Amino acid sequence: MNADVEVFRRVAPVGLHVGHLRFAYPDGRRALDDVDLDIAPGERVAILGPNGSGKSTLCQTLVGILQPQHGRIIVDDIELRHETLPQVRSRVGLVFQDPDDMLFLPTLWQDIAFGPANQGLPPSEISARVDAALALVGLTDHAQRAPHHLSFGQRKRAATAATLSMRPGLLVMDEPSSNLDPRGRRELAELLEQLDQTLLLVTHDLPFALRLCPRAIVLDAGRMVWDGPLRTLLRHTDVLEAHALELPEGFVLDDRSGAIGDR
């Protein structure tokens, strides 16, 4: 195994409990409506649903960016409250859909060092984590470049490295494969397959989700409408259609190989 991967595999995966979570925006729109969710340590779960279903809102409540009006969030037996926010954020890493929301310092190295530095780590540990994270995503040669000079796919990988450098036990990724070319999508999937962390994958990309996640949860209008095996969901075309989920044209489930392939 690549030594750089091993640095991030030595992270204990953590569990998540979400109980009766409700969140409404100031205009009254309810984005989360009594969401109940339990994820075991090491589990990989796809969060699916149409635009506006509450997926990104859920991600942001898990790290305290948004404060729900009702309900509980418990990570690794720690309930998320104002006073426990640093502890929870040390265990949950969120990779935003837009990498430019995470990359804001003069060099890529500094961006990836930002999280570990804020964890109070010694310089030697910060340097080791940044170097390993850069190598893990194939960006070692770009460490001193300005992030805005990188391609979109490179910035996506950089944002993932910035989160992994904090070694979270729960990795939450919001639309990680969006706007990636086929090679970038494959490389990201291969990277995530090597990690042991609990994974919460928010996506519209059903083949990408199937490659990584045995379980799926579907949100629509802030409510959970499905929680079960992803492969079973993909056979329920009525459920997919009702909640604006669609496999790419020309793709079918292959029950013999357990994969999705071209007709």
pLDDT value, residue 248: 85
The two structure tokens encoding residue 219: 């949100």
pLDDT value, residue 255: 60
**Is residue 71 within 8 Å of residue 18, measured between CB atoms?**
yes
CA-based nearest residue to 214, from 42, 9, 46, 41: 46
Cα–Cα distance for residue pair 240/26, rounded to 1 Å: 30
CA atoms within 13 A of residue 110's CA, in its CB half-sphere: 9
CA atoms within 13 A of residue 13's CA, in its CB half-sphere: 17
Q: Under CATH, what is the fold of the domain 11-91+170-262?
A: Rossmann fold (3.40.50)
Q: Are strands 259-262 and 198-202 parallel, antiparallel or unpaired?
A: unpaired
CA-based nearest residue to 58, from 33, 88, 27: 33
pLDDT value, residue 212: 96
Q: Average pLDDT per run of 10 along the chain, which is 263 residues long?
A: 62 94 92 96 96 93 94 96 94 93 94 92 93 90 94 91 94 90 88 91 94 96 95 93 88 58 42
Residue range(s) in the chain whose domain bears CATH number 3.40.50.300: 11-91+170-262
User: What digits encode the pLDDT tens for the residues 90-136?
Assistant: 999 999 989 999 999 999 999 999 999 988 999 999 999 999 999 88
DSSP per residue over the chain, as a string?
--HHHHHHHSS----EEEEEEEEE-TTS-EEEEEEEEEE-TT-EEEEE--TTSSHHHHHHHHTTSS--SEEEEEETTEE--GGGHHHHHTTEEEE-SSGGGT--SSSHHHHHHHHHHHTT--HHHHHHHHHHHHHHTT-GGGTTS-GGGS-HHHHHHHHHHHHHTT--SEEEEESTTTT--HHHHHHHHHHHHT--SEEEEE-S-HHHHHHH-SEEEEEETTEEEEEEEHHHHHH-HHHHHHTT--PPTTEEEETTTTEEEE-
Q: How many residues belong to the chain?
A: 263
pLDDT value, residue 15: 96
pLDDT value, residue 257: 41
pLDDT value, residue 260: 45
CA atoms within 13 A of residue 5's CA, in its CB half-sphere: 9
